Chains A and B, each alone.
Chain A
Amino acid sequence: MTQSEIETIIERYGRKESAILAILQDIQDREKYLPKEALEYVGEKLHISINKIYRIATFYRALSLMPRGKHEVCVCLGTACHVRGAQRIVDQMKLELGIRPGETTKDQNFTLDTVNCLGVCAAGPVVAIDGQYFGKMSPGKVGGTLKKFHSDKKKEGANGKA
């Protein structure tokens, strides 16, 4: 990400210090993580100390300091999904991908994460992959669902985008 691109984002929020979270979210959306150089640049331009920026960057779940995989797999652990067996979906994901929640596969293809509720409780257990929802999941469906994202071919799922 170039400095002028960061500059555009800072400008979008009127160069305000209070917009720091929104600025970091926009950088995260584009880069899928927060590169160190970008954090330093934002801090310098908005006169925010680097330790405060790191404090914010590590406080919120939406922000990440590590590069994330091409596909973001998010297993919902909301109460409704939990009572319908969401933990077993996470366990199966761990086995299939060989990583734990919060980690990224070696080939940088998948990042596994959990979320406390996606608000799609009626369809639980729910998994969101790149913002696309997969409802009524079971451990047996995990492998097949991930397979759709293994190849690079862009496939249009029935679920559309979020």
Chain B
Amino acid sequence: MGRLSSPQELEKYGNEILSARDPNQAFITVCGGTGCHASGCHAVVDAFKKVIQEKAKGNGVGLRVTGCHGFCERGPLVVIYPQKILYQKVKPEDASRIFQETVLKGRILENLVYEHPTTGEKIVAEEDVPFYKKQMRIIFGNNGNIDPTSIEDYIAVGGYRALAKALFSMTPEQVISEVKKANLRGRGGGGFPAGLKWEQCRNAPGDIKYVICNADEGDPGAYMDRSLLEGNPHSVLEGMVIGAYAIGAHEGYVFVRHEYPLAVVNIGIAIQQARESGLLGKDILGSGFDFDVKISRGGGAFVAGESTALMATIEGNVGEPRAKHIHTVISGLWDRPSNLNNVETWANVPLIINQGADWYTQIGTEGSKGTKIFSLVGKVNNTGLVEVPMGITLREIVYDIGGGIPEGKKFKAVQTGGPSGGCIPESLIDLPVDFDRLTEVGSMMGSGGMIVMDESTCMVDVAKYFMNFLKDESCGKCTSCREGTKRMHEILTEISEGRGKPEHIDLLEELGWVTAEASLCALGGTAPNPALSTIKYFRHEYEEHILNKRCPAKVCRALLQYKILSDVCTSCGRCAKACPVEAITGVQKTKKEKGKPFRIDPKKCIQCGMCFESCKFEAIEVQ
């Protein structure tokens, strides 16, 4: 394809791609998201390539490696078109059978089909699987249909039409007004109205302005930005070009975490392809509008995801935040007006322009419109990425989509909003999820991490975990954050190791207040949340640790004691072999002799739990 120099040429090219493709042609898609990589999708792709080469021979069976489908728990995922048959946990050795039976003869392979965990029903079509059924995949849905390294695939599903519409039939003001009307709120965590931000940036004095895509997704437990950038990079890019047109910017940056190598590669390919097609660079689609994008890689600092710190990093300085007396839309990158939005926010833009604000505002709640992608992880059956309309309840997400808690354990809490968010207890499980309701209960939307916790999760340990994270990631500029997080971590460590005092809870609350009030950026401003929200809803767990020196969830190692039940022990000796500190002794049974039950020397035991894990007879008890 050459350069497209008008919207008509784009339309014509789109039609050409579609007419060259037979909608009834059989093809195989394999999920190539990072989750499926971790479960070995590479080998599955290679196996399919081999089978198709050997057996299809001009049969016209297509193979497409797509972006993340979201159902990472069941990877590697394979979907067979045109029937949309979902096969899960596919192994390389299944490739030949899938090809022979399903692709050629249309027969279903029962053992690879999703089975409903409670009813046992076999579910063949992707859209019928409960995990997908309650979702509304308007942003994320195309991930499974397209090859992220092919601009043709994106154009075939209607890509870059919103850009053409904006450039040729809307003024920049009209674009802004549409985004404002849609009430698109920033998906990076803050929830600031994007249209308003664009308007302020457009009205800011200055000829040179920047638009920035924040893909420095540092929240542990959240990976929707990664999957969008890896799986559908053109949608993010299209949103950025539309935003740049509305704001009057000609230069842009995509700032990506260095821990996301595949995202860096895929957005790089997308930028190159868009440039070659006349959809990026000089005179986009013959409109006279110029805009180009550069990639900037992060250095592995969480705080660099904060807007001013991110801009400092792009400038070549240390990624420390600064006070925002003057907003970045007025004076940001190199002191010029700069508009920064998160990956998911940008990906919403083409949809709003294409379908209109009236359509968009039908989805969601009063104050939060559209959908939100959450990463549903932790102690839940169906982990993965889920896109749901705003206002859906936590219960629907955890139980209907997530399939509930594994191993029949009891649900305890959901942690949302990343390290600065909070824990929501079971009593609030019918809470509708949107920006405002989450804030009301002491948590926040954040970038959309949703970590499910069950009865075997200790809330003091969770608070300690987040505080450790924040203590490490505090840049150190503000004393209140640098010292406050450190001190709170020390106190939480004391509590979890059995040295807690009753006055520690009050001290944590006081320290938390000072840290939040006296710190410059949102990192310090929200740093006490993990401690405060767990104290608010799970004070009894703190008290158990402090007063009774007990960890009810059996997580805090210093408070645990491992014991071998001598009447259950079979003297197999497995635990003694597993023990790294030789704390377990006994007489191992042989073919002739019965042996003697093993026992743990509490003085030597380091509570590592290796014996517990190695025992096949449930003879080891944790107290």
Contact = CB atoms under 8 A, between A and B. Distances in A.
A138 B259 CA distance: 23
A158 interface: yes
A80 B35 CA distance: 13
Q: Which range contains the number of A residues in contact with the other chain?
A: 35 or more
A59 B302 CA distance: 11
Interface string A106-128: 00000000011111111110100
Contact of A25 (B258, B315, B451, B608): B258
Interface in A38-82: 55-56, 59-63, 77-80, 82
Contacts, number: 167
Nearest to A126: B38
A135 interface: yes
B596 interface: no
Contacts of A124: 377
B299 A25 contact: yes
Contacts of A61: 299-301
Given A60-B301, A83-B462, A88 B609 contact: yes
Contacts of B299: 21, 25, 56, 59-63
Interface in B334-386: 375, 377-379, 383-384
B262 interface: yes
A32 B299 CA distance: 14
Given A79-B378, A83-B451, A158-B43, A117 B609 contact: no
B39 to A, nearest CB: 6
A80 B297 contact: no
A85 to B, nearest CB: 8
Contacts of B317: 56
Given A118-B259, A119-B34, A79 B221 contact: yes
B453 A83 contact: yes
Given A60-B301, A77-B220, A92-B608, A122 B296 contact: no
A4 interface: no
Contact of B415 (A19, A79, A95, A122): A79
A160 B40 contact: yes
Interface string A7-48: 000000000111111100100000000000000000000000
Nearest to A57: B299
A53 to B, nearest CB: 10
A25 B297 contact: yes
Given A62-B258, A88-B609, A159-B42, A116 B220 contact: yes
Nearest to B614: A140
A79 B451 contact: yes
Nearest to B415: A79
Given A77-B465, A80-B383, A126-B38, 11 more contacts: A59-B301, A77-B469, A79-B465, A91-B608, A95-B580, A116-B472, A139-B610, A140-B614, A158-B92, A160-B41, A161-B42
